């Protein structure tokens, strides 16, 4: 049971809808900004938001997100401060809030049990730990189950079949599918996830969220033809970095993504996910 995230995906599925999951860097463009940005993303229609915990050495991130993290850190961002900002706004929001946090930070802030408690106490609904391998995920899985948080491990294009099954079995809430090898960053061109999503669908009933390199409304529409959710990071973070009105800009951009994922997606292959979809 991973609480709110399961519930959100179950509602989406019963409504035949697909989701946009925006990624923002916590405390970016500056400490204090997180609440306002999250409110804007809820207004824009995102059911779940992924919040990156700023880290000095994010090896999975390209220049846009790594740059945002570094500038947030320079402005005084820190994980405890971010968690406080999330706790302060949690009560006003009904969207799911999932933290993307490096194992380096989780380890330092109490390890699996300590960090999961901290995250849950601050109102987070789930965790993505991008550099936590399956083999080391046991403690986090137990702690997340104990606190009703989702836990998403990554599936990569390079992941062999049998391992996809094991990874999916260690996820709660949703599986995070890397839409491409390589790091985060905006990409042009078509996104065809039929094969990659199919590989994961074959071994799990969990919803599948795809991210990395999905940056435009058109790409979102293509991604949610197969995935349950499209994660958009760099394209949004860049707009937040460049804008004088970060929350307004984030709301406008995410709304355009939500529209792209919207009605068309409802006729999409939700049915192909199989008859068993309600797991609230």
Residues involved in catalysis: 50, 61
Q: Which of 56, 205, 245, 271 contacts another protein by CB under 8 A?
A: 56
Q: Does 76 bind another protein (CB under 8 A)?
A: no
Residue from 135, 188, 244, 267 touching another protein (CB under 8 A): that is 135
For residue 55, whether the previous peptide bond is cis, meaning omega lies within 30 degrees of 0, is: no
Q: Would you count residue 70 as binding another protein (CB under 8 A)?
A: yes
User: In the chain, what are the helix, strand and coil shares in percent, each to the nearest 5?
Assistant: 50, 15, 40
Give all strands of the β-sheet with 175-178 in edge-to-edge order: 150-152, 126-128, 96-100, 48-52, 19-25, 229-232, 208-211, 175-178, 154-155
Does 267 bind another protein (CB under 8 A)? Our answer is no
- Pick between residue 159 and residue 270 the one whose CB is nearest to another protein: 159
Select from 26, 38, 47, 55 the one that contacts another protein (CB under 8 A): 55
- Contact between 189 and another protein per CB under 8 A: no
Q: Work out whether 104 is an interface residue with another protein (CB under 8 A).
A: yes
Q: Is 64 in the site for another protein (CB under 8 A)?
A: no
Q: Does residue 34 touch another protein according to CB under 8 A?
A: no
78 binds another protein (CB under 8 A): yes
- The CA distance from 147 to 72, in Å, is 29
Smallest separation (angstroms) from another protein to the CB of 254: 25
| Partners of residue 211 on adjacent β-strands | 178
Among 145, 49, 128, 149, CA closest to 94: 49
What ranges in 202-244 are assigned the alpha helix state H?
217-223, 234-242
CB of 150 to another protein, least distance (A): 17
- Does an H or E element contain 127, and which? strand 126-128
Is 94 among the residues that bind another protein (CB under 8 A)? Answer: no
Closest CA to 173 of 136, 213, 129: 129
Question: Could you say which of 10, 35, 60, 148 contacts another protein (CB under 8 A)?
Answer: 60
Interface residue with another protein, options 75, 87, 89, 105 (CB under 8 A): 105
Query: Does 63 participate in binding another protein (rule CB under 8 A)?
Result: yes
| Nearest distance in Å: CB 230, another protein | 19
Which residues, in sequence order, are CB contacts of 200 under 8 Å at separation 6+? 155, 164, 168, 175, 177, 208
Q: Do 32 and 120 contact (CB within 8 A), yes or no?
A: no
Query: Does the footprint of another protein cover residue 118 (CB under 8 A)?
Result: no
Q: Which is nearest to 13 in space by CA: 199, 194, 276?
A: 276
Tell me the closest approach of the beta carbon of residue 213 to another protein, in angstroms: 10
Q: Which position among 49, 155, 214, 236 is part of the footprint of another protein (CB under 8 A)? A: 155
If one asks whether residue 240 binds another protein (CB under 8 A), the answer comes out as no
Residues 87, 261: Cα–Cα separation, whole Å = 29
Of the pair 152, 270, the CB lying nearest another protein is at 152
Residues that bind another protein (CB under 8 A): 55-63, 66-67, 70, 73, 78-80, 102-109, 130-136, 153-160, 163, 167, 178, 180-183
């Amino acid at each position: 049971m991973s609480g709110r995230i399961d519930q959100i995906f179950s509602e989406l599925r019963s409504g035949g809808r697909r989701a946009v999951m925006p990624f923002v860097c916590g405390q970016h463009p500056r400490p204090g900004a997180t609440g306002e940005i999250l409110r804007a993303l809820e207004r824009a229609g995102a059911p779940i938001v992924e919040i990156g915990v700023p880290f000095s050495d994010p090896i999975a991130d390209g220049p846009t997100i790594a740059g945002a993290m570094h500038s947030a850190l320079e402005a005084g961002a820190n994980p405890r401060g971010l968690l406080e900002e999330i706790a302060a706004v949690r009560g006003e929001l009904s969207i799911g809030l999932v933290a993307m946090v490096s194992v380096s930070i989780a380890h330092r802030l109490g390890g699996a049990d300590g960090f999961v408690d901290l995250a849950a106490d601050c109102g987070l609904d789930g965790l993505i730990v991008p550099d936590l391998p399956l083999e080391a995920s046991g403690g986090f899985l137990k702690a997340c189950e104990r606190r009703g948080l989702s836990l998403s491990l990554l599936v990569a294009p390079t992941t062999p079949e049998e391992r996809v099954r094991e990874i999916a079995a260690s996820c709660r809430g949703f599986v995070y599918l890397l839409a491409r090898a390589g790091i985060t960053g905006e990409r042009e061109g078509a996104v065809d996830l039929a094969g990659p999503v199919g590989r994961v669908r074959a071994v799990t009933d969990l919803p599948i969220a795809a991210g990395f390199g999905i940056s435009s409304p058109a790409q979102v529409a293509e991604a949610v033809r197969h995935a349950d959710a499209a994660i958009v990071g760099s394209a949004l973070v860049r707009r937040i970095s460049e804008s004088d009105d970060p929350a307004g800009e984030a709301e406008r951009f995410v709304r355009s993504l939500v529209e792209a994922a919207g009605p068309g997606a409802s006729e999409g292959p939700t049915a192909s996910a199989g008859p068993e979809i309600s797991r609230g």
